[in-house]
Structure 1
Amino acid sequence: MKLAKKMSEDYKTRGRYILYSFVFLILGFIFAFSYRTLGKDSGESVQSPALQQEEQYREELIAQKERNKELADEIHAKQDEIRDFEKSFSENEDNHTVLVEEAKDLRLLLGVIPATGQGVRVTLKDGDYDPIEQNPNDYIVHESHVLRVVNELKISGAQGIAINGQRISSNSYIKCTGPVITIDGRTLPAPFVIEAVGDADVLSAALNLGGGVIDGLVHDNIVVTLEQLKEIKLPALRDEA
Structure 2
Amino acid sequence: MSNSADSPQGPVRRTLRHPVRVLTAAVFALAGLIFVTSANTAKGTNIRTDSSLLKLSDLIQQRSGKNAQLDETNASVREDIDTLVRRDDGSTKAEDARLKELERAAGTTKLTGRSVAVTLDDAPPNATANPGYPDPQPNDLVIHQQDLQAVVNALWQGGAQGIQVMDQRLISTSAVRCVGNTLILQGRVYSPPYKITAVGDPAELKQALDNSPAISNYLLYVKAYGLGWKVDEHKAVTLPGYSGTVDLHYAQPVK
Runs (5+) with no aligned partner, structure 1: 1-95
Residue 180 of structure 1 deviates from its aligned partner by 1.2
SS of residue in 1 equivalent to 2:174: coil
Q: How many residues align structurally? A: 142
The AA in structure 2 aligned to 1:180 is T
Superposed CA deviations along residues 14-72 of structure 1, whole A, max 9, x for unmatched, are xxxxxxxxxxxxxxxxxxxxxxxxxxxxxxxxxxxxxxxxxxxxxxxxxxxxxxxxxxx
Residue 143 of structure 1 corresponds to which residue in structure 2?
A: 145
* 2:224 aligned with 1:226: no
Percent sequence identity over aligned pairs: 31
Residue 190 of structure 1 corresponds to which residue in structure 2?
A: 192
Decide whether the 8 Å contact of 1:109 with 1:170 is kept in 2.
no
For 1:175 and 1:207, the matched residues in 2 are separated by: 20
Runs (5+) with no aligned partner, structure 2: 1-93, 129-134, 246-255
Superposed CA deviations along residues 182-213 of structure 1, whole A, max 9, x for unmatched, are 0111111100000001111110111123x645
Q: CA RMSD in A?
A: 2.9
Decide whether the 8 Å contact of 2:163 with 2:170 is kept in 1.
yes
For 2:120 and 2:162, the matched residues in 1 are separated by: 18
The AA in structure 1 aligned to 2:234 is L
Decide whether the 8 Å contact of 1:200 with 1:228 is kept in 2.
yes
For 2:241 and 2:169, the matched residues in 1 are separated by: 7
* 2:118 aligned with 1:122: yes
For 2:221 and 2:193, the matched residues in 1 are separated by: 15
SS of residue in 1 equivalent to 2:243: helix
When residues 178 and 118 of structure 1 are mapped into structure 2, their CA distance, relative to the original with a 3 A threshold, is same
Larger Rg computed on CA atoms: 1
Decide whether the 8 Å contact of 2:108 with 2:242 is kept in 1.
yes
For 2:157 and 2:98, the matched residues in 1 are separated by: 18
The AA in structure 2 aligned to 1:123 is T
For 2:98 and 2:217, the matched residues in 1 are separated by: 35
For 1:227 and 1:238, the matched residues in 2 are separated by: 26
Residue 236 of structure 1 deviates from its aligned partner by 0.7
For residue 236 of structure 1, the aligned residue among 229, 233, 241 is 241
For residue 111 of structure 1, the aligned residue among 107, 110, 115 is 107
Q: Which has the higher helix share?
A: 1
Residue 177 of structure 2 corresponds to which residue in structure 1?
A: 175
Decide whether the 8 Å contact of 2:165 with 2:197 is kept in 1.
yes
